[in-house]
Amino acid sequence: MYKEFYGLRANPFNVNPDPRYLFLTRHTEEALACLTYGIQSRKGFVLLTGEVGTGKTTLINKLLEWLRLQQVATAFIFNSRLNTTQFLDYMMADFGIPSDSKAKSQILLRLYNWLLDRYRAGETAVLIVDEAQNLTEEVLEEIRMLTNLETFTEKLLQIVLVGQPELEQKLKQPQLRQLRQRLTLRAKTHALTLEETKAYIQQRLRIAGSNGQQIFDPEAVVAIHRYSNGIPRVVNLLCEHCLVSAFVDQQKVIGPAVVEFVARDFDLADGNAARAMMTSSPAAGQTTGQSKLDLADTLRSLANLADRFRDDEKDLPKERKL
């Protein structure tokens, strides 16, 4: 409903990691270049980390899109609650390698032969593991074993491990030392600066069909950046709810008051969340361990909330959908 009011074709601030909306900052470009370079030059093992909601999965979806265009075989594992057997089964199925054996040695042999065939044909294969901060040590150890699949000169399987900063901490544990040593390249996603937040919002509106007419006034964008701390997922949530709220009031241009109202609704206006968000800005310098924790928790709650909104929206009768 609000789409028509604001001259949009699609919902601009969907919280799905849709690569069509990928906004490239200098950091995102660097991260994407690092990932593609690592894969093309068969480096074997690349790590992508970044705070909650800063665009890791969106970037990975872009990478997957690119790999599929290049006809590179890919397996994408995003369920980090798998045990080692389930992990291997999932990977084989996603690569499309038939495997009826339940014995791990047989599965690995099949994978090795399949990778060798591809290698001889001048092709590679890429395994991407998202949400890797939640993987068990056993599964991480299994991934390390997969990096041993190589010829005398080159890695047969390229692995991209993706996760929140806890993953870096996990990899520092002595028992995962061997895995860490195999990491050849590291890429990172970051929160957006104010300038980037402005451009990010503009780009999303444009892709969703806006003709460039002003929807968020500049002060509203400043407030969105302040409350979201430049975390794209929170920017999306705030913008989406500002659009709904302003539409209800039939306001064509969204001012800072609407942002304040929505942020209060999300408990971002006062209390720990907002403070943690503001003080944990890299520009703000020091961040206490506690505020970092608060920030991560708040973002997780927001993400869950967003999922609930999406689910609720699915259940709405059509005419009530916004």
Enumerate binding residues for ligand ATP (CB under 6 A).
15-18, 21-23, 28, 50, 52-58, 164, 189, 232-233, 236, 303
Interface residue with Mg ion, options 25, 28, 54, 57 (CB under 5 A): 57
* Pair 292, 169: CB distance under 8 Å: no
Q: Which does 147 bind (CB under 5 to 8 A by kind): ligand ATP, Mg ion, none?
A: none
Binding segment for Mg ion among 53-61, 87-95, 178-186, 212-220 (CB under 5 A)? 53-61
- The one-letter code for the residue type at 252 is K
Chain centroid, CA 300 distance in Å: 13
Binding segment for Mg ion among 49-57, 97-105, 142-150, 192-200 (CB under 5 A)? 49-57
Least CB distance to ligand ATP at residue 184 (A)? 22
Least CB distance to ligand ATP at residue 20 (A)? 9
Q: Which does 164 bind (CB under 5 to 8 A by kind): ligand ATP, Mg ion, none?
A: ligand ATP
Report the distance separating Cα 142 and Cα 299, nearest Å.
Answer: 30
Report the distance separating Cα 111 and Cα 159, nearest Å.
Answer: 14
Q: Which does 15 bind (CB under 5 to 8 A by kind): ligand ATP, Mg ion, none?
A: ligand ATP
Least CB distance to ligand ATP at residue 297 (A)? 12
Q: Which does 27 bind (CB under 5 to 8 A by kind): Mg ion, ligand ATP, none?
A: none
* Pair 155, 182: CB distance under 8 Å: no
What are the structure tokens assigned to 176, written together? 């995962």
How far is the CA of 90 from the CAs of 38, 99, 230, 250, in angstroms?
23, 11, 35, 49
Least CB distance to ligand ATP at residue 54 (A)? 5
Tell which phi-psi region holds residue 44, choosing left (phi > 0), alpha (psi between -120 and 50) or beta: left
Q: Which does 18 bind (CB under 5 to 8 A by kind): Mg ion, ligand ATP, none?
A: ligand ATP
Least CB distance to Mg ion at residue 57 (A)? 3
What are the structure tokens assigned to 209, written together? 């069909």
Ranges of H-type helices in 157-231 = 165-171, 177-182, 194-207, 218-228
Q: What is the contact surface with Mg ion in residues (CB under 5 A)?
A: 56-57
